[in-house]
Amino acid sequence: MEEGARGEEEVRAVAIKKGQIQQKTPGLQEMGTFRCDGCGEEFSINHPSEFANIRVAEKQARWLEKVLTDEHERDRKHPDKIELPD
């Protein structure tokens, strides 16, 4: 079967809440930590090792800040794992 064929799960950039069992995910490289201004919870920003890019991680951190702020405005709890845009 060819690499990337159907049925294989694509590894994507994710933010994982610190302290979760799934925090260490094989194939992902931690790019940094983001702390929510609203509640202080911390998330590690993780990229697939072969596509790790600090500039992309910085853009994703700004996006994550907006998402977490929106969750507080809607009185929602932060999920343990958030898929990040490319």
| Cα(35)–Cα(61) distance, integer angstroms | 9
Tokens 């799960």 belong to: 9
Q: Which of 43, 37, 47 is nearest to 17 (CA)?
A: 43
CA atoms lying within 13 Å on the CB side of residue 38:
15
What does the pLDDT look like over 14-54, one tens digit per residue? Answer: 999 998 765 567 789 999 999 999 999 999 999 999 999 99
Strands of 26-66 (E only): list them.
28-35, 42-48
Side chain identity at residue 3, one-letter code: E
pTM reported for the whole predicted model = 0.81
What does the pLDDT look like over 46-76, one tens digit per residue? Answer: 999 999 999 999 999 999 999 999 999 999 9
